[in-house]
């Protein structure tokens, strides 16, 4: 009898553990605002569309903002915080190049949402939705976004160092950093595909164009014609911006991967995805099969959106995305 009671107790404990695990996994849900702000996705998409009609920079700047947010403190809109002391995440050196249009997109969307659903939808969720909308508006795949994130209570420049990939990272370095967030090598390659839109300053890749090594002044993985083109576009003592995708810079497609195969990856961390034999097959697959890229990108974006999220009674729902409520 005692043995049966013990077995029953063990079964109850196991069931509770499983239920708790499922509850933890299910804290984000696509229909999270179905009763509290049912039109939130429409409102955000309208705001993003309006911003896009004003400047095409909206798309790459918002996507990059989402990535930079999630990789530091998790997807909690901590990158949105403005500090009078200049010590918030956005003030760190690697974040100073984040275009203001990405911030403005989220701020405008938040204002529109607050007008109809005050104090309900987090800035973190609005950023996640806006990033998805940018992909779709640029011609990329549509996908559902899990919602229910809360906004973080910490935003410190000191937390950014070492948590964002550098333009000269090799595959091992990329894999190591992404693995910290439960992202695989396939996710690395897929998320890098966001570089099918946007641009980079010459200073981020100029070392590939001169004095690359003692054996080769120019990075040998660069297509010679493309290298010459870049040299002409990046004069000495100037730091203009260059499209990451020289073929279809304003369209979200798989041209990025075809560029890598052709030796036209702008950043070293782009081109290494093809140069390294471990990731080369995935690059070739995405270059030849846009459907495979789209599917992998959707999977990776949904995984990225779960990184370090605050839910339940964690964090807060900011009224103004740029400041903590208190």
> For 59, what's the count of Cα atoms within 13 Å in the CB-facing half-sphere?
22
Q: Which two tokens stand for residue 320?
A: 């103004």
- 13 pLDDT exceeds 60? no
Query: Is 248 part of any known ligand binding site?
Result: yes
- 26 pLDDT exceeds 70? no
Q: What is the DSSP string of 53-88?
A: HH-TTHHHHHHHHHHHHHTTTSSSSGGG---TTS-S
In the chain the domains, ranked by start, together with CATH numbers, are 39-159 (1.10.520.10), 171-305 (1.10.420.10)
Spatial contact of 264 and 208, defined as CB atoms under 8 Å apart: no
Query: Is 133 part of any known ligand binding site?
Result: no
Query: Is 89 part of any known ligand binding site?
Result: yes
Query: Is 76 part of any known ligand binding site?
Result: yes
What pLDDT digit, counting tens, does each position of 183-207 carry?
999 999 999 999 999 999 999 999 9
What pLDDT digit, counting tens, does each position of 87-143 carry?
999 999 989 889 999 999 999 999 999 999 999 999 999 999 999 999 999 999 999
**Residue 68 a catalytic site member:** yes
**What is the average pLDDT across 278-304?**
98
- pLDDT given at position 197: 98
Long-range CB contacts (< 8 A, 24+ apart) of 36-41? 36/117, 36/120, 37/113, 37/116, 37/117, 37/120, 37/121, 39/116, 40/113, 40/117, 40/121, 40/125, 40/129, 40/147, 41/129, 41/145
Q: What is the DSSP string of 207-229?
A: GGTSS--SS-SS-TTS-HHHHHH
Query: What pTM value is reported for the model?
Result: 0.91
Q: Which two tokens stand for residue 36?
A: 């509290």
Query: Is 218 part of any known ligand binding site?
Result: no
Would you place residue 2 in the very low, low, confident or very high pLDDT band (cuts 50, 70, 90)? low
Q: Tell me the C-alpha distance between 257 and 282, whole Å.
A: 9
- 64, 68, 108, 132: which is the annotated catalytic residue? 68
- pLDDT given at position 237: 82
Alpha helices in the chain (DSSP H): 2-25, 40-54, 58-70, 100-116, 123-137, 171-179, 185-192, 224-233, 255-261, 268-275, 280-288, 290-304
Query: Is 251 part of any known ligand binding site?
Result: no
Query: Is 270 part of any known ligand binding site?
Result: no
Query: Is 73 part of any known ligand binding site?
Result: no
Query: Is 186 part of any known ligand binding site?
Result: no
Query: Is 276 part of any known ligand binding site?
Result: no
Query: Is 41 part of any known ligand binding site?
Result: no
Q: Tell me the C-alpha distance between 83 and 77, whole Å.
A: 14
Task: Share the mean pLDDT of the chain.
Answer: 92
What pLDDT digit, counting tens, does each position of 156-181 carry?
999 999 999 999 999 999 999 999 99
């Amino acid at each position: 009898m005692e043995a049966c009671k013990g077995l029953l107790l063990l079964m109850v404990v196991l069931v509770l553990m499983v239920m708790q695990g499922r509850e933890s996994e299910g804290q984000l849900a696509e229909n999270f605002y179905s009763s509290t702000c049912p039109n939130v996705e429409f409102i955000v998409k309208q705001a993003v569309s309006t911003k896009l009609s004003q400047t095409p920079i909206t798309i790459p700047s918002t996507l990059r903002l989402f990535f930079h947010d999630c990789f530091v403190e998790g997807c909690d809109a901590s990158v949105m915080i403005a500090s009078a002391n200049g010590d918030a995440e956005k003030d760190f050196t690697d974040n100073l190049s984040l275009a203001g249009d990405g911030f403005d997109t989220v701020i405008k969307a938040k204002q529109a949402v607050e007008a109809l659903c005050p104090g309900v939808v987090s800035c973190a969720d609005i950023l996640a939705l806006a990033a998805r909308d940018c992909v779709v508006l640029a011609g990329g795949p549509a996908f559902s976004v899990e919602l229910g994130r809360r906004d973080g209570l910490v935003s410190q420049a000191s937390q950014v160092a070492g948590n964002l990939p550098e333009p000269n990272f090799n595959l091992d370095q990329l894999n190591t950093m992404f693995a910290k967030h439960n992202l695989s090598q396939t996710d690395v390659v897929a998320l890098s595909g966001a570089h099918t839109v946007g641009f980079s300053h010459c200073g981020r890749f100029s070392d590939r164009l001169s004095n690359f090594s003692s054996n080769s002044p120019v990075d040998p993985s660069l297509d010679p014609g493309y290298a010459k083109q870049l040299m002409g576009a990046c004069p000495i003592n100037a730091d203009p911006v260059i499209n990451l995708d020289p073929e279809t810079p304003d369209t979200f497609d798989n041209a990025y991967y075809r560029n890598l195969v052709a030796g036209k990856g702008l950043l070293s961390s782009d081109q290494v995805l093809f140069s390294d034999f471990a990731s080369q097959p995935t690059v070739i697959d995405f270059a030849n099969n846009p459907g495979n890229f789209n599917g992998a990108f959707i999977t990776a974006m949904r995984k990225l959106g779960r990184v370090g999220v605050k839910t339940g009674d964690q964090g807060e729902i900011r009224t103004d995305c740029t400041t903590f409520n208190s």
